[in-house]
Amino acid sequence: MKTIEDMARDARLAYKAFLNKGTTMLKNDILEAIAENILKERDRIVDANGKDLENGRKKGLSKAFLDRLELNNNRIDGMYRACMEIMALKDPVGSVNDMTVRPGGFRVGKMRVPIGVIGMIYEARPNVTVEAAVLCLKAGNGVILRGGSDALNSNMALAGLIRDTLKEKEVDENLISFIETTDRTAIVDLIQQNKFVDLIIPRGGESLIRTVTEKSKIPVLKHYKGVCHTYVNEFADLDMALKVTVNAKVQRPAVCNTTETLLVDEAVAPTFLPAVIKALLKNGVEIRGCPKTMAYSDDIKEATEDDWYAEYLDLTLAVKVVKDIDEAIAHIDKYGSAHTDAIITRDIAVSEMFIRNVDSSSVIVNATTRLADGGVYGLGTEIGIATDRLHARGPMGLEELTTYKWVVYGNGNIRQ
Amino acid sequence: MKTIEDMARDARLAYKAFLNKGTTMLKNDILEAIAENILKERDRIVDANGKDLENGRKKGLSKAFLDRLELNNNRIDGMYRACMEIMALKDPVGSVNDMTVRPGGFRVGKMRVPIGVIGMIYEARPNVTVEAAVLCLKAGNGVILRGGSDALNSNMALAGLIRDTLKEKEVDENLISFIETTDRTAIVDLIQQNKFVDLIIPRGGESLIRTVTEKSKIPVLKHYKGVCHTYVNEFADLDMALKVTVNAKVQRPAVCNTTETLLVDEAVAPTFLPAVIKALLKNGVEIRGCPKTMAYSDDIKEATEDDWYAEYLDLTLAVKVVKDIDEAIAHIDKYGSAHTDAIITRDIAVSEMFIRNVDSSSVIVNATTRLADGGVYGLGTEIGIATDRLHARGPMGLEELTTYKWVVYGNGNIRQ
């Protein structure tokens, strides 16, 4: 079997060749062919996935885990659609922004270009194999995929199909590589390949991400936690606040952009809290509140310091009454994870103050934190959400998988 | 004395407070006051600089080094002008790009925001203290400055003046801090403060940059080498090629965007090489050539493999005859440093191919590589040049000292 270093070197060569060859037309042609091959190879994909499911059941994996692992007809159609949607997205590569004419008479601008070779480390869901591969391809990047061990057969079938399609289209198939071993040393090897790999994107549990970040010689684009807040300001439309708060907690509690802490201005607490507590309890939400919140219901446990830091990813919500927007901002600054935070208010000065001071990757006014999503923002499929500050923040789509270079069009200009 | 950790924590607090307070008007007001104080305190700055110069002479520092260290009246005026120029630049913070209305009826866009707290490590030239501080300030960042030990007195005078001006304007002066010790452990401490510091920018020799990059827990924006190429294509205007090549090598050979290797298509070598060799020799350039180049003059040393990798930063030039553009691109890919590379050609298809395939931070058509500069590109003062791929490439100005956050303006939107 190839070493990881050989794989990385080959990916870089394939990426370099594709810089020249990878026109938008060819890229879209490949994406369409991958989509069609997914439908054609449906049975083979389901078979491979069947092996993973069987191994998983033997291993005693949880029902929820097995559900995420499964590639049924619906999900195969979903992968087809993802390819076709990404095909339809505007190609960012080669577009030039901020072109200006300088006094010397030459033009200078910033051209969007691929980032290079990306190492993608992810767990569980095998559809990520397809989504990551086609997003990277459309942005002109090479990619080395390392999927979770429980999805190995499914991932190998999908990656094999994608590589076969590249060959069909006479593109070096090493543009998209898949690490076929489940040996953890492969990850350690991959994150040392700074000569050939430009960016590592880990998607998975916090411990995976911390390990990768600590040991990587390559920049890591990461997502730690989503401790998202909804802050109901004293000038809020309280009907809106009720509807949005319940949605932010209840609609899909297991995902990173769900609200984990509700902050309520004390001026509206007496009217808002009884209503929202009732609605949340009706939806099966466990509430952990500050002493002031507890006064409104006997069904509220007292929140500990840990609760303010908690990413429950479950039907649990921490609730705190705050004096004013300053206390709300200070709370978010101290306990939040800079992922997504929302304010409900009618007052423009207040919302602008919230936007200016809350230093998170998404700041939302008068809507649910659940909106923080590549699809909802209009990016098409996202490759992940970043809680870092550089180079991308929040949902990352095609544009975020590119960087830029300066291009100068001169006419013999020299420097005096 | 404060520990580096305390300094970093205080810088972060000052940065957070400035998020709210730092309007464009206040920032410009501070910049103007700094500029004026530089003129007012001219004598004190010259005195402090005099101590550094005296220490330097005792230490036996080179004349070139002492020249870079000196703050004479001209250079003090230059620092004044730098402040006024940065004051005049458009404030990127708070501007929103790519705002769209989504089907749900809410608006989403990307707002430019400061990066956070920046650790700036630099050597020698004390004017960098002022330039880095005011650029970071205008972009709304906090900054911790660590200058070279030989400029300690000058830097302390300048940083003190800036901090006094912040106090005058009732802004927390820890927004701009200066590390007053020349102890190297301070650098090691600084690059571990990932809780408080968001980006490290080292400017200096390659060994400093390698050390910082290896040990830093914080993303590092770095500049390794400038092995820049000028490629004279067979379809070049040879008069232009001659003028541009000589300028790229001779005009200021000690800087990173000077051309270190000249590549010449074999089709034009017999007409172009004799002329360019003559002009270069006349300008005192030492030429190291491939065997084909050597045929044109007896005054050319044979280039070794090391010469193709060399960043001479001197009046030395490596010259190679290549078969065609493919060989030129392959040479740049192998030996270049992804800094700045230029092509001279009249042919559009050829220049577009060069732009597409040369994966450098600046790609220049029909002009000198010396153009790759923040001032020339229209950025105003630059904080540095990056040879990394993320998050900024090439000259970095005000815009490159910011990142973005997503802002969503809703009207009660929820996720179904």
Segment B296-340, tens digit of pLDDT: 999 999 999 999 999 999 999 999 999 999 999 999 999 999 999
Phi, psi at B287, each rounded to 5°: -110, 130
For chain A, say whether B93 makes contact (Cβ under 8 Å). Answer: no
Bridge partners of A409? Answer: A107, B365
Q: What is the pLDDT of residue B391?
A: 87
Look at the block and give the residue holding tokens 């330039």: B131
Mutation target for A interface from B97, B242, B337, B371: give the one with most A CBs within 10 A: B371
Residues of A in contact with B240 (CB under 8 A): 412
| Regions of chain A with pLDDT less than 50 | none
Q: What is the pLDDT of residue A53?
A: 97
Bridge partners of A322? Answer: A265
Residue of A203, A239, A204, A238 lying closest to A384 (CA atoms): A203
Q: Which residues contact A46 (CB under 8 A, 6 or more apart)?
A: A71, A72, A73, A76
List the Cα angle B6/B11/B17 in 5-degree steps: 130
In 3-state terms, chain B is what percent helix, strand and coil (to 5)?
45, 20, 30
**CA A94 to CA B253: how far, in whole Å?**
32
Q: What is the pLDDT of residue B371?
A: 97
**CA A203 to CA B281: how far, in whole Å?**
57
Average pLDDT, chain B: 95
Extended beta strands in A115-233, E state: 117-122, 142-146, 176-178, 199-203, 228-232
CA-nearest residue to A333 within chain B is B16
**What one-letter code names the amino acid at B95?**
S
Instruction: Give the start-to-end residue ranges of the domains of chain A.
Output: 4-222+392-409, 228-376
More confident residue, B346 or A375: B346
Give DSSP secondary structure letters for B341-402.
EEEE-S-HHHHHHHHHH--SSEEEEEE-GGG-SHHHHT-SS-SEEE-SSSS--EEE-SGGGE
Residues of B in contact with A385 (CB under 8 A): none
Q: H helices within A169-253, ranges in order? A: 185-190, 206-215, 238-250
Q: What is the pLDDT of residue B224?
A: 79
Q: Could you tell me the pLDDT band of residue B362, with boundaries at 50, 70 and 90?
A: very high
Residues of A in contact with B395 (CB under 8 A): 406
Mean pLDDT of B77-100: 94
Peptide bond into A391 cis (omega under 30): yes
Q: Which CATH superfamily is domain B4-222+392-409 in?
A: Aldehyde Dehydrogenase; Chain A, domain 1 (3.40.605.10)
* pTM (2 d.p.): 0.92
Q: What is the pLDDT of residue B205?
A: 83
The predicted-structure confidence for B216-243, as pLDDT tens digits, reads as follows 989 999 887 899 999 999 999 999 999 9
**What one-letter code names the amino acid at A364?**
I
- Pairwise CB contact (< 8 Å): A413 & B115: no
Give DSSP secondary structure letters for B228-257.
EEEEE-TTS-HHHHHHHHHHHHHS-TTSTT
Q: Specify whether the CB–CB gap between B161 and B24 falls below 8 A.
A: no
Mutation target for A interface from B106, B201, B358, B389: give the one with most A CBs within 10 A: B389
The predicted-structure confidence for B107-156, as pLDDT tens digits, reads as follows 999 999 999 999 999 986 899 999 999 999 999 999 999 999 999 999 99
DSSP state of B407: E
Report ipTM (2 d.p.). Answer: 0.93
**CA A60 to CA A58: how far, in whole Å?**
5
- Decide if domain B228-376 falls under CATH 3.40.50.880: no
Q: Based on the number of CB atoms within 10 Å of its own CB, is A334 exposed (0-12), middle (13-18) or buried (19 or more)?
A: exposed
The predicted-structure confidence for A193-240, as pLDDT tens digits, reads as follows 999 999 999 998 888 898 898 899 899 998 878 999 999 999 999 999
Residue of B384, B400, B402 lying closest to B120 (CA atoms): B384
The predicted-structure confidence for B364-395, as pLDDT tens digits, reads as follows 999 999 999 998 998 888 888 898 888 899 99
- Pairwise CB contact (< 8 Å): B237 & A412: yes
Q: What is the pLDDT of residue B380?
A: 82
